[in-house]
With several copies, the nearest count.
Chain A
Amino acid sequence: METILTYEAAYNELAQIAREIENESVSVDVLAEKVKRASELIVFCQTKLKSTETEVNKIIAQMEGSKPK
């Protein structure tokens, strides 16, 4: 279950987005999308940190549904 989105994967993706925004290599066209994704990843990690396994599973199920890929 965590294999789909681990803390590590979330962290790396987040770091990548932060770097891109930092480097101004994100175009205006996708900025909102990138920030949205970052926000989801942060919320995911924080929620997961502070939730029991059951709660986490629920969140992941929701996120998987809405994740843009």
Chain B
Amino acid sequence: MMPDLNYIKLSDLNRQIEEIITQNFGGRMFWVVGDVTNHTHKHEKNYHYFDFVEKDPYSNGIIAKISASAWGIGSEKIYNFETVTGQKFTNNINVLLLVSVQFHSIYGFKLNVIDIDANFTLGVLEQQRQATLSRLVAENPGFIQKAGDQYYTKNNRLNHKIVIQRIALITSQTSAGGEDFRHTLDSNPHGYKFQIDDYFTVVQGENNAELLVAKIIEVFNSQIPYDAVVIIRGGGAQTDFLLFDDYNVGRAVARFPIPIITGIGHQKNETITDLMAHSPTKTPTKAAEFIIAHNKQFEENLLLFQKNIVIKSQQFFSYYFQKLASLNSLIVNNSRNIIAHNKDGLVEINQITINTSKSIIFNRRSELTAMASQLASKPKIIVYNRLADIKNIAENIKTFNAQYLKNQRSYLGHYVSLINLMSPKNILKKGFAIIKVNNEIISNPDGIKVGNEIDIILAETQITSTVKDKTTYNGNDFNV
């Protein structure tokens, strides 16, 4: 206690400050350009707290900084800003804010956000970040390419070793993150052992980029075949990560020949280092968990192989035993079939031999019997027919004889009639007469002269007369 000194109470001082501030800034509002960092948003109250900063455009160093908050109207404006621009109100955005200046006796200076210019969308930080990324892509085509929103680097195109066991850890000696990482690895529940080499450096303060790059080079120069390089930075304010947006750091990470796993320890942003690295994780613990999971996956694959081999081996035996058994029963059954078929064949042949032999004899006997009965009947028929023939001929001869004699008699009869007809005796009966001269029968009248004596012979009478006259007779009375 120094009673004689002239002093005032802090509350009096604060009141005076408040008076002056109120006099000068009370009721006044200012449009101010700056970047947002260390932003938090209390959802339940819809309060935004953040630091409003201005950076040197060349060095990226902070040249002005003030706390700010938004609630009520200010929060609504921010909500509108997000809706209009699609840009989340968050760290590393360059914004134009309408603010009032407030001083509170307890809480001190603070800017109160009244409005935000939605047209002023991107913060300068992000512009710089984009510029750095563009430069990385433009100047290192050999190992950095961009496709869509993705960056493809030599590093992130590497394959992780199937097991990550030997690790180069780049972190600060005092980093809580490094401890988290180690602890997580060492206390893994699977009993995996790791070999971790520390490469300490300063991993905060944006001016320490060169040191980080030097450490990365040191890892490379060690010639140790690390399975992975882990870059860890745990804790600290958001502004502490600007180091990881450095061009040279990004370039070194992108071209590094061993896969780099990052666990830079922030929740809300992704640094250029993350974009260039093989496997970015959010925190050191996550980085460790990533490695454990990677190895666990390997072991699970091993166990899967083992399981498959065990199952398949067992199936293998039952399959082979089954195949043997089926061959066995095939052989047994078919051997029996062969014997059975042969037996059947023999029985059949036996039957054929027995039955057909008997039927051959039977058939032969039937043939003989048929022939014998034919022989018994046919000769009798032949003899009978012959006898009939003979009888027939005898009858014929008898009949023909009678006919023959009758015919002969009839031929003779014909001559008898003719001779009777021509007999002179019969002619005289019809009134004809025979003239005889000198007892000679005359048929020529020339020898008869008038006065000759002629004999006229009639059927029953002879007349002797003398010729008195002789004339020619034409005989026409009898012409027919």
Binding site for B on A (CB under 8 A): 7-8, 11, 14-15, 17-18, 21-22, 24, 26-29, 31-32, 35, 38-39, 42, 45-46, 48-53, 56-57, 60, 63-64, 67-68
Q: Kindly list 15 other residue pairs between chains A and B, CB separation below 8 angstroms, not including A15-B327, A21-B335.
A: A11-B301, A11-B346, A17-B305, A17-B331, A18-B393, A18-B418, A21-B338, A21-B375, A22-B374, A28-B382, A28-B441, A56-B379, A57-B358, A60-B358, A67-B347
Contact A26 B382 (CB under 8 A): yes
Residues in B neighbouring A57, C-beta threshold 8 A = 358, 380
Interface status of B387 (Cβ within 8 A of chain A)? yes
Residues in A neighbouring B195, C-beta threshold 8 A = 52-53
Contact A14 B356 (CB under 8 A): no
Interface size on B, residues (CB 8 A): 103
Contact B338 A63 (CB under 8 A): no
Of the stretches B38-46, B96-104, B361-369, the one at the interface is B361-369
| Contacts A/B (CB < 8 Å), 15 sampled | A11-B345, A18-B334, A21-B330, A21-B419, A31-B383, A42-B327, A46-B346, A49-B295, A49-B412, A50-B193, A56-B401, A60-B375, A60-B380, A60-B397, A63-B328
1/0 contact trace for B366-389 toward A, CB 8 Å? 011001101110111011011101
Contact B397 A21 (CB under 8 A): yes
Residues in B neighbouring A60, C-beta threshold 8 A = 310, 313, 332, 335, 353-354, 357-358, 375-376, 379-380, 397-398, 401
Contact A53 B422 (CB under 8 A): no
Contact A67 B393 (CB under 8 A): no
Least Cβ–Cβ distance between B194 and chain A, in angstroms = 9
Contact A31 B415 (CB under 8 A): no
1/0 contact trace for B321-339 toward A, CB 8 Å? 1011101101110111111
Contact A18 B375 (CB under 8 A): yes
Of chain A, the residue at the smallest CB distance from B376 is A60
Q: CA of A68 to CA of B190 in the docked complex: distance in angstroms?
A: 9
Residues in B neighbouring A15, C-beta threshold 8 A = 305, 327, 345, 349, 371, 393, 415
Contact A38 B361 (CB under 8 A): no
Q: CA of A5 to CA of B364 in the docked complex: distance in angstroms?
A: 17
Q: CA of A26 to CA of B295 in the docked complex: distance in angstroms?
A: 30
Q: CA of A38 to CA of B346 in the docked complex: distance in angstroms?
A: 10
Nearest 6 interchain pairs by C-beta: A21-B400, A53-B383, A21-B334, A18-B349, A38-B419, A50-B191
Most chain B beta-carbon contacts within 10 A, residue among A17, A22, A48, A53: A53
Least Cβ–Cβ distance between A25 and chain B, in angstroms = 10
Contact B353 A21 (CB under 8 A): yes
Residues in A neighbouring B434, C-beta threshold 8 A = 28
Residues in A neighbouring B295, C-beta threshold 8 A = 49
When A and B form their complex, what is the total count of cross-chain residue pairs whose Cβ atoms lie within 8 Å?
Answer: 351
Q: CA of A15 to CA of B372 in the docked complex: distance in angstroms?
A: 10
Answer whether A18 and B327 are a contact pair too, CB < 8 Å, given A24-B338, A49-B343, A67-B372. Answer: yes
Interface status of B405 (Cβ within 8 A of chain A)? yes
Within 8 A of A (CB), among B390-412: 390, 393-394, 396-398, 400-401, 404-405, 407-409, 411-412
Taking a contact as CB atoms closer than 8 A, the residue among B374, B383, B416, B423 that contacts A49 in the complex is B383
Q: CA of A26 to CA of B348 in the docked complex: distance in angstroms?
A: 18
Contact A45 B346 (CB under 8 A): yes
Taking a contact as CB atoms closer than 8 A, the residue among A28, A49, A63, A68 that contacts B298 in the complex is A49
Interface status of B146 (Cβ within 8 A of chain A)? no
Residues in A neighbouring B316, C-beta threshold 8 A = 21, 24, 26, 31
Interface status of B120 (Cβ within 8 A of chain A)? no
Interface status of B424 (Cβ within 8 A of chain A)? yes
Binding site for A on B (CB under 8 A): 161-163, 165, 190-193, 195, 295, 298-299, 301-303, 305-306, 308-310, 312-313, 316-317, 319-321, 323-325, 327-328, 330-332, 334-339, 341-343, 345-350, 352-354, 356-361, 363-365, 367-368, 371-372, 374-376, 378-380, 382-383, 385-387, 389-390, 393-394, 396-398, 400-401, 404-405, 407-409, 411-412, 415-416, 418-419, 422-424, 434, 441, 443
Residues in A neighbouring B343, C-beta threshold 8 A = 49, 68
Contact B386 A49 (CB under 8 A): yes
Q: CA of A16 to CA of B339 in the docked complex: distance in angstroms?
A: 19
Least Cβ–Cβ distance between A17 and chain B, in angstroms = 7
Answer whether A8 and B162 are a contact pair too, CB < 8 Å, given A18-B396, A28-B364, A60-B335. Answer: yes
Contact B361 A35 (CB under 8 A): no
Residues in B neighbouring A26, C-beta threshold 8 A = 316, 338, 360, 382, 404
Residues in A neighbouring B386, C-beta threshold 8 A = 7, 11, 28, 45, 49
Contact B415 A38 (CB under 8 A): yes
Answer whether A35 and B162 are a contact pair too, CB < 8 Å, given A45-B368, A56-B313, A56-B317. Answer: no
Residues in B neighbouring A28, C-beta threshold 8 A = 320, 338-339, 342, 360-361, 364, 382-383, 386, 408, 424, 434, 441, 443
